[in-house]
Amino acid sequence: MLNVINAKRLEDALYSSTVARKSFFVGPLATLGLDLARFHSLQFRHVVESVFRLLSDKYPDARVAVAAYGSASREEMAAHSDADVLVITSAESRSERTFRKDFARLLDQFGFAKVDIPNWGTIADLEQLAQVNIVEGNQVLESEVIIGDAELVSEFEKMKRRASSVERAISNLVFQKYCYDHYYAKRKKTGLINIKYSHGGTRDLLFFVWIAKLEALRRGDRAEIRTLLDALDYLELIGDISKTQKEKLSRAASLVILLRSEVLKTNHSTTERGLSFYNPKSTRTFRFSNILSLVFESHDQMARAYKKCSNVISVMKSTLIKHTFSRYLEAESQLLMKVARRPSSEIGTFLNSDNRMTRLICIWEMSLRGRYPRCEGLVSGYISSDLNKLTWEETASLVANEDLGTEQIKKLTSSIISKPHFGYILKMVAQHPNTPREVLETIAKQASGERYKELARIALSKGVNETNFQV
């Protein structure tokens, strides 16, 4: 069995605080956060089913199904999470488009932080999205159908199996590892803890699911891996973590999820609605007074427990990622050291590799190690060589680099503004500090999705920094 994390290190991280040892990590409170998240997720399912039945009577000709994605499909919802819903359609007829709009309007009455129902919905469109786009493709592949036309549901599940592959799973893991390292650094506020977007926060829990799914695909297993607990069970089954490690990680995750619920509830009626920033110096009473007040005497005490739990999650995530990379990317993983040691003039050797994983890692390593300014000529040549050949991951990784110049941003934006399923990258362009006003205006007018246009408008009216703190 792979000894992923030293058991003593986990023991020290989880049980060193007296309050944690006496209350939260033993007995019925040990998995309370996960239990509450599952409760909110089941509540959400009932709401979705009720709205669906209501609209089905109004639109009897609409052949549709509804699936949950995001925290709802992973059973990690909080009291005021987003309502992430995928409306799957047989065709984009007028009745089905109106069904989607009415569905969003009715869900908005239930007090969610935000209702997010993308415009893509036909099986063919969803399959292409899953094959091209890592981030939004994940939303499709990880979604869980709640209710709808039985034949359409069957087609959707078959499509998800077709679009899932070991190669895609590896690309996803490589991209997400680097992308979140970069993104977490941008989602910070002085003196506050970002419970969602930080190392060891709730977003990091996704990596355990991704790694477990990758291993299941490689082995040809048809195991259902949807939630964190599904993933941990599978990783224990194949020997990548021990039973003790699984139990301690689930307890750590439970506290992190519970704290995020507390923060979302506290922030719901403020300008921070939908955001997960927590002030450990707060003097407010706990909103979940009958739960958290039984466990913690102060916010400072709870923040210390959160720090220990997030460290457990972060350490285990990093260790599993390194192990997975060595298993699947043995040659490419050595690139991480080679790029750091080689002179800038030799980086082009890797940037022009036929192996797309090598190119992807090279782009991020240049970015994170500050090598872009010295390689600007190479990067410009790489971008200009053939824009149409750049994969979604390569394009997104290039845009994420804050040393990317204005002219390079213009070229990349012009190549993807009308490209199917590349729209998400326009959000990243809107968040880039070097994006000129003319590009933001183009996105605000021409982007294919309203969500992308809105972020460009925010950048134009309030500044780029504000775009990093939107729900």
- The 10s digit of each residue's pLDDT in 242-254 is 999 999 999 999 9
- Dist. CA 351–CA 354, nearest whole Å: 9
Please determine, for residue 378, whether its predicted confidence score (pLDDT) is greater than 80: no
pLDDT of amino acid 140: 95
3-class secondary-structure state, position 148: strand
How far lies 346's CA from each of 183, 336, 379, 461, in Å?
28, 14, 12, 42
For the chain, give me the number of helices (H) and strands (E)? 22, 6
Higher pLDDT, 217 or 188: 217
Higher pLDDT, 387 or 95: 95
- Dist. CA 409–CA 399, nearest whole Å: 7
Contact predicate 332/358, CB 8 Å: yes
- Dist. CA 25–CA 440, nearest whole Å: 48
pLDDT band at 13 (very low <50, low <70, confident <90, very high): very low
Beta strands in 166-300 (DSSP E): 193-194, 277-278
pLDDT of amino acid 156: 96
Terminal alpha carbon distance of the chain: 41
- Dist. CA 159–CA 406, nearest whole Å: 39
**Which tokens is 427 given?**
């959000």
Give the amino acid at 199. Answer: H
Q: What does the pLDDT look like over 303-362, one tens digit per residue?
A: 888 899 999 999 999 999 989 988 888 676 666 556 656 666 666 677 777 888 888 888
Contact predicate 311/13, CB 8 Å: yes
For 275, counting Cβ atoms within 10 Å of its Cβ (0-12 exposed, 13-18 middle, 19+ buried), the class is buried
Contact predicate 316/249, CB 8 Å: yes
Q: How far is Cα of residue 143 from the mean position of the Cα atoms in its chain?
A: 13
Longest dimension (CA), the chain: 66
Q: What does the pLDDT look like over 251-285, one tens digit per residue?
A: 999 989 988 888 888 777 777 777 888 888 776 66
pLDDT band at 95 (very low <50, low <70, confident <90, very high): confident
Average pLDDT, the chain: 83
3-class secondary-structure state, position 67: strand
List the alpha helices (DSSP H) in 59-165. Answer: 94-107, 123-132, 134-141, 150-163
**Which tokens is 280 given?**
């450990």
Global confidence as pTM: 0.88
**Which tokens is 332 given?**
């490419």
State mean pLDDT over 367-386.
65
Q: How far is Cα of residue 293 from the mean position of the Cα atoms in its chain?
A: 30
pLDDT of amino acid 127: 95
pLDDT band at 3 (very low <50, low <70, confident <90, very high): very low
- Dist. CA 445–CA 91, nearest whole Å: 26
- Helix, strand, coil percentages for the chain (3-state, nearest 5): 65, 5, 30
What is 364-380 written as a DSSP string? HHHHHTT-TGGGHHHHH
Higher pLDDT, 17 or 148: 148
3-class secondary-structure state, position 394: helix
Give the amino acid at 240. Answer: D
